[in-house]
Structures are given as structure tokens and as C-alpha cells.
Amino acid sequence: MRRLLAEAGVDARRYHLALALLCDGAWWTLADLVRGAATSRRGIEALLREVGPQRSGDRFRLTPEQVRAYRPLLEESGHPGEPALADPVAHLLPRYADVLERMEKLIAEGPRGRQALDHVAATPETVVRRALLLGGRFWLPGARLLCVGDHDLTSLAVAMAFPGVQVTVVDIDDRILAYIDAQADGLGLDVRTRWADLRLGLPASARDQADLAITDPPYTPEGVGLFVARAVEGLRDPDRGRILLAYGAGERTPMLALKVQNSLHDLNLALEAMYPDFNRYFGAEAIGSAADLYVLRPTTKTRPAVAARVERFSTAIYTHGPQSVEALQGLPGPAALGEGGFEPEVLVGDWPKDAFPKLPRTRLSTWLAKPYAASPSRVALAVPAGLEAALPRLLLATRARHVRVLLSGAAPDLPALRAALPGVYELTRTGHVLDAVRLPTPAGDDGRLLRGILDNAHGKLANTWREGLIRARGHLTKKQARAVVAEVAPWAGDVTVLELPEHRLRALPAAVAASLRLPPAEAGETTGHG
């Protein structure tokens, strides 16, 4: 054991801490030792080989004789068993025990992580401590927080601990957005959700609006760079805003940390503080089930650097699954576009340069960001592996009569896709080719109003809905129509259709129908004047 500590040098405190845990006489799993000592699985395995503990299944402990033998070794450290640095918010946890108890339940019942999205769940205590650090370091009453990805449910912890904060969550995983919405509604929390694949941009309603941003991104230089760049875009005052970043590389891989820090340096971000091993996880044992917490401050050169570099991050950002490689591998040849006499007028996505060289092209991110200048009747979409979640939004971004989609990844679930595109397209699929043919506008008031909203997917949902409602009902003023929309869909606000989570898209038809039948007085109106 002394030899192991000597080889570790000044970093041996990690082993001292793990040894102190074993010396308490309890049974420990390897995962608990990894997380408790914030030491990589390889490091803990090396320690266990040296101390030779008792073993029962996947649990370990030291015998009383071993504990007595190792106590002198621990005493040499001066303060055995204590973390390397004091926790800046540990003293606040007892005051927020009720929040911690709720978060334990919320996290236990929340959506399971997806390996393809590099999900690893933070512990409930970590999530609450993030909220407490925000409250201890910054003035939160009236502040706006942007969560750039939120599988850990940090948004709910912040909203419970500090009700005066307005929280916005952007995430690619519709399951997480639906869960956060349901819990926030049930608890009366001010949390708003927006769908986004950050490689395709930050939602318009999330730009330039936050005072603080927090993110726990994929742990690749590209993933960290992209998520932090989008966080910068979300700040309304970069001179005063801050970004909290969770990132860990493990004690054996400093070069990975250097690459990530270089990507932050390229964005001209100042490192205001860094709390080692602040975040703990259920999993991620290669990095000790722990990650540091960075506090980053933008400079006057940050926004220009983000604008110049953000596109380079929009490539492979994950470490697992199809989204770690996003070339058009496996994409059907361009000849598939012409089957059945289909002749595209515009190509959307990353098509080979020799495919229809004379046709106009546009990026997927541009397609989602603003309406296409022309009004093409036939559109060809190339969707790389890993971007399938964007498919409903990519289809809603055009009024084209026929859209042909070439997929290089998993084929979409057609019933689920139809539910997210209520009454807009007839969908058929042959292999990796998906055809979306526009359906006629429905005859009833409900269908016409819904189609009018979906046909203007880039516009503010509340505004489009309000104007359509006035046309449909005739006697409503703008104020009355606005109140009706707010009553049946308080989540509409300043969001666009393209930013709606899937559960909101599915709820839209029923909400539209309700808005056509709700009397103005029930929406808070007492006069007929707008």
C-alpha cells in the first residue's frame, strides 16, 4: 500500500480517502468507493488488489485487524478521510433537506439515461448542491437560468430551492422535456421547456434571455465546446452573465482535460472558479464518478469567437452510438431521389457535392432557423444518423407539397411521427427513404386553425394562434383572443412550433379545439374591448 501511495505522489490523497472509507468497517461496492473517493475504477481496483479486503459478491470491507493495521497509515495524512477540498455548500444542505428528499424521488422516477446521448445521472445531492452554489454565489431573485441539456433535472432543484428564478430548459430528449413539464406543473414551478438539437442551433426563444446558464454536456472537446457556445448565445448580458460547466476527465487522463480547456480558451472565456470533484454520478466510473464544476465568465471577445467557431462543433459530439460519427455513411445514393419521378427543387442538409450540382442547397440549421426564401414544391432532406429527433421539425419547417427524406440512421417510428405532425403529411417509407406528401387542408374550423398554425412554424405560436382564432370566431378582439390562448395553452408564450417538445405538439390539436369553444369571459375577459 505504501508503494501504491508513493507511485501516486501528491495525488495519493484519493487513495487515502478510499482507504478511509474502507476502514469504517462497512461493506462497500466498487461503484460506491469510486463515487465516494472521486477516483477512477482502475485506481480503486489497484487499491483493492493491495489491501486484500474481505469480499461478499460485489461488496468489500476490511477486517478489524486490517483496520487497525491501516490506521497509522491514514494518520500520516494529518486529516484522514476528509475530501481534498472543503465543499463550499455542504453546510447549507440541512436547511434544504425537503428539496433533497423531493429530488431523490424525482430522479428515481425520471427517464432512464440514453447511452447514445452520453447520459449519466448525477446524484440527487449533487443536483441540490448545484442549486445551492448558484444561490450562494449569485443574486437569484428575478434572475433567469438556462439549462443547456438537463437529464439531471437541475432545473427542478433550482426552481424548488429558489422560486424567484425563471428557468428555461433546452434538450434533445423529448422524454426529459415531458417529465420536467409534468413535474413543474404539478409542483407549481416556473420552468419552461424547449426542444433543441444544439448542433442545429439554440431555439429563438432561448437566445439572449438568461442571466446564468448551466450545462453538463457530453465529455468530448466538441461536445463541451458546442454546449458552452450555445450557453453563451443564451445570455442576455455577456458582460455580467456566467456559465456553470460540469466536466470531468479522471485523474489518469489530463490530456483530455487539456483539450476541453483549450476549446474553452478558443471561446475567450475566463475561468472564474473551478470546484474539483463537485459533481458525483451513478456511473461514469472511468472518471471516478465525479466531475469538476467550472464557473466561466464571458469576455468582450467571447461572442465573436462563438459566432466564428460554433459550426465546427456541430459534428461528432458524443462518445457512443450513431451520433459519434455523423458523416453520410450508409445514405442511399442520390439516384434514390429520382425514383417515382421525384425531381427536387432544393437540397437540405449535407449532400455530396456531385449530387445535383445545379440545385440550390441549404443547411439543416438554416432550414430550422428561418423560412426558406422561395416556396419549393419538392424538397429533398438528408438526415444524418443521430439527428432523427429533428425530423418532425424539419418537415414542419416547409409547406412543400412533397418532401423526400434520405436517412442514414435508424428508421423513424411512423405512428409516432404522424402523431407529432397532426394532419399535415401522409407518410410512407421504403427502406431508408421516407416520403412526406402534404395532405389537403381540413374542412372544419379546428383543422383549418391547426393547419394555419403548423403552416407558420417559424412564427411565434401565440401570435399565429391569436390571429387565426380571430379569423375563425370573428367577434374576438386581439386581447380576448390572446387571453383564450393563454388559458388553453399557457405554455405557448413566446415559443415557436419548431421549439415545442413532442408532448406539446401532440397536445396542440386538443388545445386548438378548446380555444374555438372557450367563451372570452372564461379567459379572464370582462369587456368586449381589446
Whether 111 maps to a domain, the answer reads: yes
Domain limits for position 409: 334-438
Whether 284 maps to a domain, the answer reads: yes
Q: What's the pLDDT score for residue 333?
A: 61
- Structural domains of the chain, count: 4
Q: What's the pLDDT score for residue 102?
A: 97
Whether 355 maps to a domain, the answer reads: yes
CB 397 within 8 A of CB 300: no
Q: Are 283 and 363 part of one and the same domain?
A: no
- Please tell me the pTM assigned to this model: 0.86
Whether 324 maps to a domain, the answer reads: no
CB 8 within 8 A of CB 57: no
Q: What's the pLDDT score for residue 337?
A: 73
Q: Are 62 and 95 part of one and the same domain?
A: no
Q: In what order do the strands lie in the sheet with 54-56?
A: 28-29, 59-61, 54-56
Q: What's the pLDDT score for residue 80?
A: 54
Q: Around Cβ 490, how many Cβ atoms within 10 Å?
A: 9
Q: How far is CA 102 from CA 97, 108, 124, 190, in A?
A: 9, 10, 9, 16
Q: Are 276 and 162 part of one and the same domain?
A: yes
Could you say which of 13, 46, 75 is where a domain stops? 75
Whether 213 maps to a domain, the answer reads: yes
Cell of 55: 469480499
Could you say which of 407, 438, 469 is where a domain stops? 438
Could you say which of 438, 467, 487 is where a domain stops? 438
Q: Are 388 and 373 part of one and the same domain?
A: yes
* Residue corresponding to grid cell 447520459: 119
Q: What's the pLDDT score for residue 469?
A: 94
Q: Are 71 and 109 part of one and the same domain?
A: no
pLDDT in tens, the chain (530 residues): 888 888 888 778 888 888 989 988 889 999 899 888 888 888 889 999 999 999 999 899 999 999 988 888 887 766 555 555 568 898 999 999 999 999 999 999 988 856 566 658 899 999 999 999 999 999 999 999 999 999 999 999 999 999 999 999 999 999 999 999 999 999 999 999 999 999 999 999 999 999 999 999 988 888 899 999 999 999 999 888 999 999 998 787 889 899 999 999 999 999 999 999 999 998 777 778 889 999 999 999 999 999 988 876 655 665 555 555 344 455 556 666 777 778 899 999 988 877 778 899 999 999 999 999 889 999 999 988 888 889 999 999 999 999 999 988 777 889 989 988 988 999 999 888 999 999 999 888 999 999 999 999 999 999 999 999 999 988 889 999 999 999 999 999 889 999 999 999 999 999 999 999 988 765 554 433 33
What is the rounded distance in angstroms from the CA atom of residue 186 to the CA atom of residue 84? Answer: 40
Q: What's the pLDDT score for residue 525?
A: 47
Q: What's the pLDDT score for residue 85?
A: 57
What is the rounded distance in angstroms from the CA atom of residue 253 to the CA atom of residue 525? Answer: 62
Instruction: Give backbone dihedrals phi and psi of 189, rounded to 5 degrees, phi first.
Output: -100, 145
Burial level of 348, CB count in 10 A (0-12/13-18/19+)? buried
- The alpha helices in 239-356, defined as continuous H runs, are 254-266, 302-313
CB 387 within 8 A of CB 197: yes
Q: Are 45 and 109 part of one and the same domain?
A: no
What is the rounded distance in angstroms from the CA atom of residue 212 to the CA atom of residue 206? Answer: 12
CB 8 within 8 A of CB 37: no
Q: Domain with 44 in it: what CATH number?
A: 1.10.10.10
What is the rounded distance in angstroms from the CA atom of residue 147 to the CA atom of residue 167? Answer: 7
Cell of 230: 450555445
Q: What's the pLDDT score for residue 86?
A: 61
Q: Are 110 and 236 part of one and the same domain?
A: yes
What is the rounded distance in angstroms from the CA atom of residue 381 to the CA atom of residue 391? Answer: 9
Q: What's the pLDDT score for residue 124?
A: 96
What is the rounded distance in angstroms from the CA atom of residue 398 to the CA atom of residue 392? Answer: 11
How does 249-287 read in b/e, with b if 16+ C-beta sit within 10 Å? bbbeeeebbebbbebbebbbbeeeeebebbbbbbbbbbb
Instruction: Give backbone dihedrals phi and psi of 323, rounded to 5 degrees, phi first.
Output: -80, -5
- The alpha helices in 214-329, defined as continuous H runs, are 221-234, 254-266, 302-313
Q: Are 95 and 190 part of one and the same domain?
A: yes
Whether 529 maps to a domain, the answer reads: no
- The alpha helices in 274-422, defined as continuous H runs, are 302-313, 364-369, 391-396, 414-420
Cell of 373: 426564401
Q: Are 343 and 393 part of one and the same domain?
A: yes
CB 126 within 8 A of CB 151: no
Q: Are 268 and 402 part of one and the same domain?
A: no
Whether 83 maps to a domain, the answer reads: no
Q: Are 390 and 482 part of one and the same domain?
A: no
Whether 432 maps to a domain, the answer reads: yes
Q: What's the pLDDT score for residue 289?
A: 84
Q: Are 456 and 427 part of one and the same domain?
A: no
Q: What's the pLDDT score for residue 77?
A: 64
